[in-house]
Chain A
Amino acid sequence: MTDKNEIVIALLGQPNSGKSTLFNALTGLRQHVGNWPGKTVEKKEGSFVYNDRKYLAADLPGTYSLSANSDEEIITRDYIASGKADVVCILADSSQLERSLYMLSDFAGIDVPCFLVLNMDDVAREQGKEIRVSDIEDRLGIPVVLFSATDRKGYDKFYAALEKAVENKPLLNSDALEAKYGQIPEYVSIRSIIGDISDNSKSSMWLAAKAVEGDAPVVSRIRTLLSDDKAAEFDEAVKNIDKGIVKTGECKFAWIDELISGSVNKSKKTVELGKFDRLITHRIWGKAVVVITILLGLLASFIPALPFMGLGSAVGMLPDPLNEMMINAGCPAFIAAIVCDVLIRCLGFVIQMLGFVFGVTFVFGLLEEIGVMARISYVFDNTMAKFGLQGKSVMPFLISFGCTMGGAAGTRVIDNWGQKVLTIALSWAIPCGAAWAVVPMLSTLFFGAWTPVIIAVILIVMILHMWLTAKIFGGSLVKPENRCGMIMELPPYHKPKWGALMRYVFGRTKDTFIRSLKVVLIVAFVFWLLSYTSSGDASNTVLFKVGQAIEPVTMIFGMKWQTFTAFVASSLGKEGALGVLSTIFSGTGTLSVGMMAGGEQAANLNELLLANITKPEALAFIFAITFNMPCIVALAATYQETHSVKWTSIIGLYYTFTALVLSGIAYHIGLLIW
């Protein structure tokens, strides 16, 4: 989507520097989300026009530094150094200036035009901080803007600095930093070995500093640029460095201190935990407060979700009358069925689910924005570390009791890709609202007073399932050597910025809508083909024929063809399982895709079920649908968050397989009992 006259601006900043807020404010809904080539890292670009000039903004992954510890960091620094961006906008948080300027100090030495944005000026001023920008500007030699990305009125300053940077192509003056590095003997010797080599816009100073830090890609890159004897000398010098990153880190912060000395007035106030912080981080009550906060958030999510759900079910009403109209108008029944049964029903289903995603994204985006999410992470860090996860994972888990798709959407706040995928994989094991609607009804019907026992067993199996799944996938998703304990800032509470938040929420919902509709349509169409019959008799369908042919196999898992068909249908949506059984057993009506959103049920369904399904089979069926793939929309949401076809398929197949295994175990235990 690059066009030649477009000016490319790259946004670089640590997490919590307000980078996304700035990106959203600049580009609004003109955003495009994709993947970085060959990586599972999300690539966000958006365009905007200012003063008749077209800009393309690239929102680089939020990283703490430009080292080579993660894909995100390598993508970020290679992109910047590649010269693909005409100008780099570096963000720092004014309220935590010293610490957040680390990104600038790590950037220093990459010679591309840039300017510095000191964001969250409003928070800094509330803290009694005063920053004199002109001093910093003089020392750095680049435009510096002090503003707040959430304040619409402050953007003139931002645009002015942007235009200045585009016109003058200013480079960051890093002489003072190099002088600091000069006090590290290892730096001096490496610098003299490599001389004045540079790599694209990575200057010899930047390369030498990274070599001191033991940065593997940089070290091997430098080696290829040197002559053989120099390379040997270089290897020797690099080998003997101990704790290089700590040494350069000291220099970077000494440089930052010098940079802002005399230009920042601070009030000497000791910062302590606030009242809510003391409660939520309480040793005993903390966890309860967090769980209550999330559950209240979940309830609140339903409020913005309701209009969507209404709209979705209204759309879901359309197929029947429309089908009639189309057929009366002479449209072939086959086409009418595709339009009504597949297209429109899917649309209605996705819109209904979307309401929940909208609500969850809104409420939990809000919690993230005001800073509550970081506290949640703190409270559950030790517990979740046992699964190889971070504290924030507790939130998607709780949401998944309501809706797995919402849970998947909630993993957005997890900043480590492997942990994000593992969280989604585990949250699939949590029975969602649809399972809770079907399971108690079925178990009451078959097992009466034993229902509480069955529910308790389901919960125990859920925990074992999560534990086992974490064991199976944890090793490759979150490599033990990459498992680092919590190092996270607890940002000061921010007032929510409604405009920015709403733009973000609408953008996400739109993305989810498009992506999940695609997946749902494909899967639904396949299911529809398998279950299509012109005569209205279920025994004419491909599904029936296949189901009956493989019944000897499915009986190992305790499922006859009828329950197996319902099981397959429950991967689309668990609400549909009963509708499918009802259709098959009563022999009326056709199986349809619409059933996944809860089809009509025969009035005598209970008797039909009792007459056709034995107790062990019922038990098997309950476990099969409870632990099956939650629904296709959850599958789509998983793809959207993980950006990985591979992992989405692995998780999908894994759950289908484990559901069958659990069903088989339940069946054989059932056979022993009854």
Chain B
Amino acid sequence: MKTLVEMKQGQEGVVVAINGDARYMSRITSIGITPGCRVRIVKNDKNRPVIVYSRDTMIALNSKECSNINVEEAN
């Protein structure tokens, strides 16, 4: 298991758990990232938000906060 920010460009995974304060969990849920959903890392550059693809949507996520999201790698 990894956090989202540790994933590399092109890798895919399934979200296992989401941590953080209530506000963060609320926002991340409303944009469609929930436990069980599949994500693909489109771009993960240093000092830039992580771009993931999930539920037909390209989403940019603050990279620090991405350590709140645990992912199980998948192929």
Task: Check if A298 is an interface residue, CB within 8 A of chain B.
Answer: no
Contact A490 B34 (CB under 8 A): no
Q: Does A196 interact with chain B (Cβ within 8 Å)? A: no
Q: Which of A245, A378, A382, A485 is close to B22, meaning CB atoms less than 8 Å apart?
A: A245
**In the complex the two chains form, is B51's CB within 8 Å of A489's CB?**
no
Give Cα distance in the complex from A485 to B49, angstroms.
9
Question: Could you tell me if B18 and A489 are in contact, using CB atoms closer than 8 angstroms?
Answer: no
Is A487's CB under 8 angstroms from B37's CB? no
Contact B34 A487 (CB under 8 A): no
Q: Is the CB of B25 within 8 A of A102?
A: no
> Which residues of the partner chain B approach A378 to less than 8 Å between Cβ atoms?
48-49, 51, 60
Consensus secondary structure, chain B interface: mixed
Interface positions of A from 62 to 102, Cβ below 8 Å from B: 64-65, 67, 69, 95-99, 102
Residues on B with C-beta less than 8 A from A487 are 27-28, 31, 59-62, 65
The answer for the CA separation of A98 and B62 in the assembled complex, in Å, is 22
Interface centre among A213, A253, A273, A487 (most CB of B within 10 A): A487
Please, what's the 1-or-0 string for B1-37, where 1 marks a CB less than 8 Å from any CB in chain A?
0000000000000000010011111111111101111
Given contacts A102-B32, A283-B45, A378-B51, are A484 and B23 in contact (CB under 8 A)? yes
| Distance A467 CA – B66 CA, assembled complex (angstroms) | 27
What mask results when residues 61 to 75 of chain B are scored 1 for a CB within 8 Å of chain A, else 0? 111110000000000
Which residues of chain A are within 8 angstroms of B35 by Cβ–Cβ distance? 246, 250
User: Are A97 and B56 interface neighbours, CB within 8 A?
Assistant: yes
A245 touches B61 (CB 8 A): no
| Known A382-B48, A482-B23, A486-B49; contact A246-B34, beta-carbon cutoff 8 A | yes
- Given A378-B49, A382-B47, A484-B65: A489 in contact with B59 (beta carbons within 8 A): yes
Question: What is the minimal beta-carbon distance from A94 to any residue of chain B, in angstroms?
Answer: 10
Q: Which of A14, A69, A283, A381 contacts B26 (CB under 8 A)?
A: A69
Task: Convert A490-523 into 0s and 1s, putting 1 for each residue whose CB lies closer than 8 angstroms to a CB of B.
Answer: 1110000000000000000000000000000000
Q: Is the CB of B60 within 8 A of A488?
A: yes
Bound state CA distance, A98 and B53, in angstroms?
A: 13
With a cutoff of 8 Å between Cβ atoms, the chain B residues found around residue A482 in the complex are 23
B contact residues around A266 at 8 Å (CB): 56
- Among residues of A, the one whose C-beta sits closest to the C-beta of B58 is A490
Q: How many Å lie between the Cα of A69 and that of B29 in the bound state?
A: 13
A67 lies within 8 A of B26 (CB): yes
Query: In the bound complex, what is the Cα–Cα distance between A378 and B61 (angstroms)?
Result: 9
Partner of B18, one of A98, A246, A273: A246
Q: Does A281 contact B (CB under 8 A)?
A: yes
Note all chain A residues with C-beta closer than 8 A to B59.
487-490
Whether B61 contacts A99 by the Cβ 8 Å rule is no
Report Cα–Cα, A578/B50, bound state, in Å.
Answer: 50
Selected contact of A243 from candidates B18, B31, B43, B53, CB within 8 Å: B18
**How far is it, in angstroms, between the C-alpha of A102 and the C-alpha of B65 when the chains are bound?**
22
CA A69 – CA B25 in complex, angstroms? 11
In the complex, the answer to whether A492 meets B58 with C-beta atoms within 8 Å is yes
Q: Which chain A residues lie closer than 8 Å to B21 at the CB level? A: 481
Q: Is the CB of A283 within 8 A of B48?
A: yes
Which residues A214-252 have CB closer than 8 A to chain B? 214, 243, 245-246, 249-250
Expressed in whole angstroms, the Cα–Cα distance for A250 and B60 within the complex equals: 21
Report whether A245 and B45 are in contact in the complex, using a CB–CB cutoff of 8 Å.
no
Cα–Cα distance between A253 and B55 once the two chains are bound (Å): 10
Query: Would you call A106 an interface residue if the criterion is a C-beta within 8 Å of the partner chain's C-beta atoms?
Result: yes
B36 touches A379 (CB 8 A): no
Task: Please tell me if the beta carbons of B48 and A381 are within 8 angstroms of each other in the complex.
Answer: yes
Asked if A271 CB lies within 8 Å of chain B CBs, one says yes
Decide if B29 touches A489 in the complex (CB within 8 Å): no
The CA of A20 and the CA of B71, in the complex, are separated in Å by: 36
Question: Would you call A67 and B43 a contact (CB within 8 A)?
Answer: no
Instruction: Give the chain A neighbours of B48 by CB distance below 8 A.
Output: 281, 283, 378-379, 381-382
User: Which chain A positions have C-beta within 8 A of B30?
Assistant: 14, 64-65, 67, 102, 106, 249
Query: Smallest CB-CB separation from A99: which chain B residue?
Result: B32
- In the complex, what distance in Å separates the CA atom of A245 from the CA atom of B28? 10
* B32 contacts across to A, CB distance below 8 A: 98-99, 102, 253
A52 within 8 A of B: no
Residues from chain B with Cβ under 8 Å of A156 in the complex: none
A232 to B36, CA, bound (A): 34
CB distance from B71 to the nearest CB of A (A): 15
State the B residues within 8 Å of A (CB): 18, 21-32, 34-37, 40, 42-43, 45-49, 51, 53-65
- Can you list 7 A-B contacts (CB < 8 A)? A245-B22, A271-B58, A374-B60, A382-B47, A486-B49, A487-B28, A489-B31
Those 6 A-B pairs whose CB atoms lie nearest each other, nearest first: A485-B62, A249-B29, A99-B32, A64-B30, A65-B30, A490-B58
Known pairs A246-B18, A489-B58 / 11 extra A-B pairs, C-beta < 8 Å: A69-B23, A98-B32, A99-B55, A102-B32, A378-B49, A484-B23, A484-B27, A485-B64, A488-B60, A490-B58, A490-B60
